[in-house]
């Protein structure tokens, strides 16, 4: 039977001032409750075989299942465990208490859910076909890719699953990796799966592999990239399959609860799996878009009062324009993901101030362009300290850099020269500018930065200084897939014509040499401040009231009015949200230039449009359709959906489907048959596309800032949090490696 531990009480109010994302679901729940014969089971009964959102609201309690090993952490009994804060926020929005229900093993999670011991599995599970047959998953929370870890001495002998014959792999039973390897046992003679105790930590498991007690184990790939550099006796052997999505799970007979969870996840991020492909220049021209992988920092790409800016962004936009392509910026979670995402087809080109190194040139499937910039790798120290005279002065000092950076190899070469400098890994999600700030605040001892990044920082801060230049200047290059030789040739031609020419020099001075402009960029850019518009607080309130991600509304508002409350279009639309006078009057909006009134009316109007679409359409798709209707009118979108059906396209999906049909309504042969006639719908396609691109940029900018702050808070408090087979262990091991105190750690995630 499950073990019930502490209850987290509901709070008086949810985050912000509104709970609009649950308004319709509350109404549904009350109706269901009124029509239900289900008895009030009360908290004393563990098993409640049925019951959807209505039953949860009636009980006033959400029961969340977690594996028992969550209790092993050194935390007070009434403290929410890692991975629970997000669920706690969801429960606060519902206005119910949480009861944390612990199962003896991971294998018990799904059976206990189906038996009615809980309402929700609160540690994110990898979505597998076997699990989908038993439970209903929410929209994905993320993705995970697993890799097999072995002793370094065995790496050459273990390059794929067939090499696991006569080997023992240590795993927790019930995990997705266990299930996958279990299916392979018939094909791989002598493959033995060693079942680890539920309470065993990943730290101990890795130690046992290193000591030869087991031959291998399986960990999330991102965790491996952070942990393995600190454990030279271990090595990543190969990936165990492709990336797979992770999600929470509920019973199949709880559709209202799943919808409420989807709404909640959606309110934090529109969940959508991007299309993956690898195309050369000809294919990209047919698609009309160049997907650029980059990172948010002052030298590459950032948001300033709604505008997308940055040296890399403007330079790559000029290249794309010269080839008739529009730019779509793609921001991976961390720098270490840039090259893997290119290899996987999630982007077409990396423009992120990557240093060209011999190690990177040897990475499979990628090709560097000719250099477009040169920088010096410079040691950064606190301004008040005595300057370092040579690398010998690094003896006994800690240098903190990302393992995926070229700086890591630079410091390793200094170590190989006999200098006893300690090399410490920084979290991959931390950009160099943030690490410099950690040096200034004495969290880190020393770091290394490219000279142009450091130049930007030194225009506005005086608490750090450039100390030693480490070697000769190094080149930066863009990166493309090896299967795109025409794209590479076009990039090289562009750089040859542009590098250090008039336009290039103007752009370079704008971002690296003009102190006034640099200081302004640093001060206001979203990635540092988290501020998207002058009306963020008002937007948050009304977006939450109607179940929208506030950053989406900011993106739409910028597209409508460029944040100008006095804006008026040639058609008479007025204010920040550009409502027509008649529509504004119907919505009770009688002050067109008042920002709060315009925002409230615009969000309400968008919500009403979204409600007009079939509720069976996924929430994200209804949102894109509603945005199109906001621009072109509901009737034209309805025409486009009907046309999509005739063309064998999906009328319930915007991208590449209704979007394509909508563009055709500008043509006379299609417009004649449309109920609402001709439409300047290419403008609408552009409208939705620009909002989506800007929304993605806003999400990444604000999420990166939050992730870095969370990482710093976790480190300062000696604690961390995360979900799935990934986050908690990653933070745990990083803390363990840094502290080296042997403190008891706990591995989480089935």
Judge whether 728 and 82 are in contact, CB under 8 Å: yes
171 within 8 A of 208, measured Cβ to Cβ = no
Using CA atoms, how far apart are residues 411 and 421, in angstroms rounded to an integer? 8
| Inter-residue contact 99 to 27 (CB < 8 Å) | no
- The tally of CA atoms less than 13 A away on the side-chain side of residue 643 is 27
Active site residue 621: no
Please, are residues 643 and 661 in contact by the beta-carbon 8 Å criterion?
A: yes
Instruction: Check: CB of residue 233 under 8 Å from CB of residue 207.
Output: no
Nearest alpha carbon to residue 79 among 11, 12, 13, 6: 6
Q: Which of 428, 433, 560, 724 is catalytic?
A: 560
Give me the sign of the Cα torsion angle 85, 90, 92, 97. negative
As a whole number of angstroms, the distance between CA 378 and CA 464 comes to 12
User: Which DSSP string corresponds to 57-84?
Assistant: HHHTEEEEEEEGGGGGSSS-TTSPPTT-
CB 565 within 8 A of CB 594: yes
| Residue listed under structure tokens 């925002």 | 599
Q: How far apart are CA 708 and CA 532, in angstroms?
A: 18
**Chain centroid offset of residue 433 CA:** 20
Dihedral of the alpha carbons of 708, 714, 720, 723, in degrees to the nearest 10? -20
Check if the beta carbon of residue 67 is closer than 8 Å to that of residue 750.
yes
What are the beta bridge partners of residue 474?
A: 375
Cβ–Cβ < 8 Å for 584, 590: yes
Sequence-ordered alpha helix ranges (H) in 499-549? 502-508, 515-524, 526-529, 536-545
Query: Number of C-alpha atoms within 13 angstroms, CB side, residue 461?
Result: 24
- Cα dihedral: 247, 250, 253, 256 (round 10): -80
* CB 245 within 8 Å of CB 173: no
- Residue 357, judged by CB atoms within 10 A of its CB (0-12, 13-18, 19+), counts as middle
Q: How many residues does the chain have?
A: 750
Residue positions annotated with a catalytic role? 560
């Amino acid at each position: 039977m499950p073990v019930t531990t502490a209850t987290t009480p509901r709070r008086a109010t949810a985050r912000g001032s509104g709970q609009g994302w649950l308004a319709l679901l509350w109404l549904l729940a009350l109706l269901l409750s009124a029509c239900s014969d289900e008895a009030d089971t009360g908290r004393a009964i563990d098993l409640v075989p049925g019951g959807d959102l209505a039953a949860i609201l009636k009980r006033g309690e959400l029961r969340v299942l977690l594996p028992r090993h969550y209790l092993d952490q050194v935390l007070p009994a009434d403290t929410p465990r890692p991975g629970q804060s997000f669920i706690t926020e969801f429960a606060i929005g519902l206005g119910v208490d949480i009861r944390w229900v612990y199962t003896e093993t991971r294998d018990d999670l799904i059976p206990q859910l189906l038996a009615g011991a809980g309402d929700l599995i609160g540690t994110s599970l990898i979505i597998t076909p076997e699990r989908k047959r038993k439970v209903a998953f929410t929209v994905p929370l993320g993705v995970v890719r697993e890799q097999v870890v072995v002793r370094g001495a065995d790496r050459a002998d273990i390059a794929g699953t067939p090499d696991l014959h006569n080997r023992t792999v240590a795993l927790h039973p019930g995990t997705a990796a266990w299930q996958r390897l279990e299916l392979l046992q018939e094909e791989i003679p002598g493959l033995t799966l060693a079942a680890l105790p539920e309470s065993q930590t990943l730290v101990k498991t890795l130690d046992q592999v290193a000591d030869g007690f087991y031959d291998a184990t399986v960990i999330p790939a991102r965790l491996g990239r952070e942990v393995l550099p600190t454990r030279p006796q271990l090595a990543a052997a190969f990936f165990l399959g492709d990336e797979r999505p992770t999600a929470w799970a509920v019973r199949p007979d709880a559709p209202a609860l799943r919808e409420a969870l989807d709404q909640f996840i959606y309110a934090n991020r529109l969940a959508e799996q991007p299309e993956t492909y690898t195309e050369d220049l000809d294919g990209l021209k047919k698609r009309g878009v160049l997907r650029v992988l980059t990172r948010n920092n002052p030298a590459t790409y950032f948001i300033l009062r709604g505008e997308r800016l940055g040296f890399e962004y403007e330079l790559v936009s000029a290249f794309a324009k010269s080839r008739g392509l529009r730019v779509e910026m793609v921001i991976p979670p961390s720098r270490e993901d840039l090259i893997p995402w290119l290899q996987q087809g999630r982007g077409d080109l990396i423009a992120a101030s990557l240093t060209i190194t011999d190690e990177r040139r040897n990475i499979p499937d990628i090709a560097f362009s000719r250099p477009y910039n040169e920088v010096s790798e410079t040691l950064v120290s606190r301004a008040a300290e005595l300057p370092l005279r040579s690398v010998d002065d690094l003896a006994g000092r800690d240098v903190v850099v990302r393992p995926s950076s070229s700086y890591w190899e630079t410091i390793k070469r200094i170590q190989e020269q006999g200098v006893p400098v300690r090399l410490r890994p920084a979290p991959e999600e931390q950009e160099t500018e943030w690490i410099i700030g950690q040096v200034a605040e004495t969290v880190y001892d020393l770091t290394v930065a490219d000279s142009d990044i450091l130049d930007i920082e030194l225009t506005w801060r005086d608490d750090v200084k450039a100390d030693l230049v480490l070697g000769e200047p190094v080149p930066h290059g863009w990166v493309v897939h090896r299967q795109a030789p025409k794209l590479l040739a076009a990039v090289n031609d562009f750089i040859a014509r542009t590098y250090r020419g008039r336009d290039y020099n103007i752009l370079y001075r704008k971002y690296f040499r003009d102190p006034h402009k640099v200081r302004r960029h640093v001060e206001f850019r979203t990635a540092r401040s988290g501020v998207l518009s002058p009306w963020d607080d008002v937007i948050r309130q009304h977006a939450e009231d109607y179940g929208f991600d506030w950053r989406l509304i900011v993106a739409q508002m910028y597209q409508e009015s460029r944040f100008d409350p006095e804006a008026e279009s040639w058609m008479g639309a007025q204010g920040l949200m550009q409502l027509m006078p008649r529509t504004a009057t119907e919505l009770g909006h009688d002050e067109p230039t008042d920002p709060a009134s315009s925002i409230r009316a615009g969000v309400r109007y968008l919500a009403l449009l979204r409600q007009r679409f079939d509720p069976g359409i996924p929430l994200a798709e209804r949102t894109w359709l509603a945005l199109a209707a906001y621009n072109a009118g509901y009737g034209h979108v309805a025409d486009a959906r009907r046309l999509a059906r005739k063309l064998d396209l999906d009328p319930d999906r915007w991208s590449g489907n209704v979007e394509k049909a909508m563009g055709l309504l500008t043509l006379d042969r299609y417009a004649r048959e449309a109920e609402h006639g001709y439409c300047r719908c290419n403008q609408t396609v552009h409208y939705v596309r620009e909002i989506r691109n800007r929304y993605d940029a806003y999400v990444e900018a604000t999420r990166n800032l939050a992730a870095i702050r969370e990482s710093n808070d976790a480190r300062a408090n000696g604690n961390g949090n995360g979900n799935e087979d990934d986050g908690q262990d990653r933070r745990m091991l990083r803390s363990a490696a840094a502290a080296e105190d042997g403190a008891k750690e706990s591995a989480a995630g089935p």
